[in-house]
Amino acid sequence: MPNLHPPFFLRLYFSDAEMMGPGKAALLEGIARTGSISAAGRELGMSYKRAWMLVEAMNAMFAEPLVTRVRGGPGGGGASLTPAGDRVLALFREIETASIAANAGRIAALKAMLTDMSGGK
């Protein structure tokens, strides 16, 4: 399961109702990998309804949909990222990686200032 709470994570707020963070990025990655909204949601411990709600929100948020869905039938349904979905995911991960790199020293300095809560004093 992807780590949705790493030591550093990024959430972009485009407006009060429109945001992109590690959960949505992980859902897009899961859809790309599995070809399924429900399978991607299961990997993240969320219901199909929650996963589909997030996909609908992302599709509405951007000028072009990020995920396309094929309804089930004899061969089953599926989902995939659109070129816009691939681009949004890539840009989000690039911003995330650059932010982590730019702040690694500051994060280490903050960690060095923490109280030892492990009980091993």
Domain of 56: which CATH number? 1.10.10.10
Contacts 24+ apart (CB under 8 A), 95-103: 95/10, 95/12, 96/9, 96/10, 96/22, 96/25, 99/8, 99/10, 100/8, 103/8
Nearest to 29 by CA among 66, 57, 60: 66
Residue 109 lies in a domain: no
Residue 111 lies in a domain: no
Q: pLDDT digit string (tens) for 43-59? A: 999 999 999 999 999 99
Q: Are 79 and 70 in contact (CB under 8 A)?
A: yes
Residue 9 lies in a domain: no
Q: Which domain holds residue 76?
A: 18-98
Please report the pLDDT score of residue 77 as a whole number.
74
Q: For the ranges 29-38, 43-52, 59-68, 110-119, which has the lowest average pLDDT? A: 110-119
- Tell me the range of 28-32, 101-105, 111-115 where mean pLDDT is highest: 28-32
Residue 117 lies in a domain: no
Query: What is the count of structural domains for the chain?
Result: 1
CA distance 48 to 41: 6
Residue 103 lies in a domain: no
Residue 69 lies in a domain: yes
